[in-house]
Amino acid sequence: MEKNIAVIKGDGIGPEIVTEAMKVLDKVAEKFGHKFNYEQLLMGGCSIDANGVPLTDETIERCKAADAVLMGSIGGNTTTSPWYKLPANLRPEAGLLKLRKSLGLFANLRPCVLYKQLSEACPLKKEIAEKGFDMLIMRELTGGLYFGERKTEEVDGVMTAVDTLSYNENEIRRIAIKAFDVAMQRRKKVTSVDKANVLDSSRLWRKVVEEVAKDYPEVTLEHMLVDNSAMQLVKDPAQFDVMVTENMFGDILSDEASMITGSIGMLASASMNETSFGLYEPSGGSAPDIAGQNKANPIATILSAAMMLRYSFKMDKEADAVENAVNQALENGFRTGDIMSEGMTLVSCSGMGDKIAELI
């Protein structure tokens, strides 16, 4: 098969980690007889430097024309980078939010797995880490607090800022359906996370999720408050299969979940619309402190590329091959600095990419 992939390397460690994912994809193409054509596009801080804006209409159009988008990370140090002197709507993150919205990517899938080889890197108590876990966070990505009306103004002489958290039933229904659909392919349990003891948007969320659940009698549904979920994630992560939640809760909980997998450098993600089109990016940020040092962990980006093969290209065998190669590289003792432990072999970002590509 021939596929056109829009590639947004982005800022910070973005270019390094995406280069390794492309190395692995090229190996897949060679091995399985496919052709991947890449078109490199700018978004985030690098686009501000080149075009004055974090995302151009041209980039949006080129992404739409591609079969899928592979992305690294965007943004810089929020206290020192000149990008953060710009008005909020011209900063790197605004580009990413606009791109997600323009492509209709409402469903963000973040699988969090504790690899048995990495139980040493898991900061949880030994008896919890030993049980392992394998969960998927289904984060709503184009609604809620990150897209509601916002303003900062002086009210009666006092500076006041407002952000709005709004969801309509259709936005909730479509993400709930995605969550139940993936639960059917997994262990058939959905935990819907909300703050229904306080928020109206959460009460509507709960009601709509319950309606959707009626169409999936085989799936067990439970509701959990977001504060309790944050606690349960470190107390007993093995209890979760699919967790579905609104945009900001999902943003926060997925960082927490990534940490207990050993490192945020392990967490892949897929952002999908109603079709099989998706944008694939690691869940972690641009890590400006280690950018350009060939130190970053490329595994999250490589696993995101595997999700692209599986979800957008329907190449299951190929996706399995990439996931197995990652497993095998870990099994063989190769570690980047973030997941290093005693007795293992420290490798660079490109070193890890080489090891994984060799194992395809």
Q: Closest Cα to residue 34, out of 336, 285, 257, 309?
A: 309
The window from 90-98, 173-181, 236-244, 332-340 that contacts ligand IPM (CB under 6 A) reads 90-98
Q: Of 96 and 259, which has the nearer Cβ to ligand IPM?
A: 96
Q: Of 75 and 298, which has the nearer Cβ to Mg ion?
A: 75
Strand partners of residue 112: 135
Q: Which of residues 22-81 bind ligand IPM (CB under 6 A)?
A: 75
For residue 173, how far is the Cα from the chain centroid? 21
Cβ-proximal residues to 12 (8 Å cutoff; 6+ apart), any chain: 73, 74, 75, 76, 285, 286, 287, 288, 291
Contact between residue 43 and residue 5 where contact means Cβ atoms under 8 Å apart = no
User: What is the rounded CA–CA span in Å between residue 242 and residue 162?
Assistant: 32
Show the DSSP H helices in 130-192 as ranges. 169-185
Q: Of 253 and 360, which has the nearer Cβ to ligand IPM?
A: 253
Strands, DSSP E only, in the chain? 2-10, 35-41, 68-73, 107-113, 134-140, 150-155, 158-163, 189-194, 220-225, 242-245, 270-272, 278-280, 334-335, 345-346
Q: Which residues bind Mg ion (CB under 5 A)?
A: 251
Contact between residue 280 and residue 24 where contact means Cβ atoms under 8 Å apart = no
For residue 250, the minimal CB distance to Mg ion (Å) is: 9
The window from 57-65, 91-99, 149-157, 172-180 that contacts ligand IPM (CB under 6 A) reads 91-99
Q: Are strands 68-73 and 278-280 parallel, antiparallel or unpaired?
A: parallel
> How many binding residues for ligand IPM (CB under 6 A)?
6
Q: Of 41 and 97, which has the nearer Cβ to ligand IPM?
A: 97
Cβ-proximal residues to 346 (8 Å cutoff; 6+ apart), any chain: 335, 336, 337, 340
User: What is the rounded CA–CA span in Å between residue 190 and residue 138?
Assistant: 10
Q: Of 11 and 318, which has the nearer Cβ to ligand IPM?
A: 11
Task: From the list Mg ion, ligand IPM, none, pick the one residue 96 interacts with, judged by a Cβ distance below 5 to 8 Å according to partner type.
Answer: ligand IPM
Residue listed under structure tokens 């130190």: 295
Q: Closest Cα to residue 38, out of 63, 16, 14, 58?
A: 63
Contacting residue, 251, 318, 323, 338, with ligand IPM by CB under 6 A: 251
The window from 62-70, 92-100, 217-225, 349-357 that contacts ligand IPM (CB under 6 A) reads 92-100
Q: Of 93 and 194, which has the nearer Cβ to ligand IPM?
A: 93
The window from 89-97, 166-174, 184-192, 333-341 that contacts ligand IPM (CB under 6 A) reads 89-97
For residue 233, the minimal CB distance to ligand IPM (Å) is: 16
Q: Which of residues 112-131 bind ligand IPM (CB under 6 A)?
A: none
Query: What six digits make up the tokens of 207?
Result: 């009601």
For residue 18, the minimal CB distance to ligand IPM (Å) is: 15
Catalytic (active-site) positions: 146, 195, 227, 251, 255
Q: Of 171 and 251, which has the nearer Cβ to Mg ion?
A: 251
For residue 99, the minimal CB distance to ligand IPM (Å) is: 10
- Does position 93 interact with ligand IPM (CB under 6 A)? The reply is yes
- Comparing every residue's Cβ against ligand IPM, the nearest one is 93
For residue 283, the minimal CB distance to ligand IPM (Å) is: 6
Q: Are strands 134-140 and 150-155 parallel, antiparallel or unpaired?
A: unpaired
- Comparing every residue's Cβ against Mg ion, the nearest one is 251
Contacting residue, 5, 43, 70, 96, with ligand IPM by CB under 6 A: 96
For residue 343, the minimal CB distance to ligand IPM (Å) is: 33
Which DSSP state fits 2?
E
For residue 284, the minimal CB distance to Mg ion (Å) is: 8
Binding-site ranges for ligand IPM (CB under 6 A): 75, 93, 96-97, 251, 283
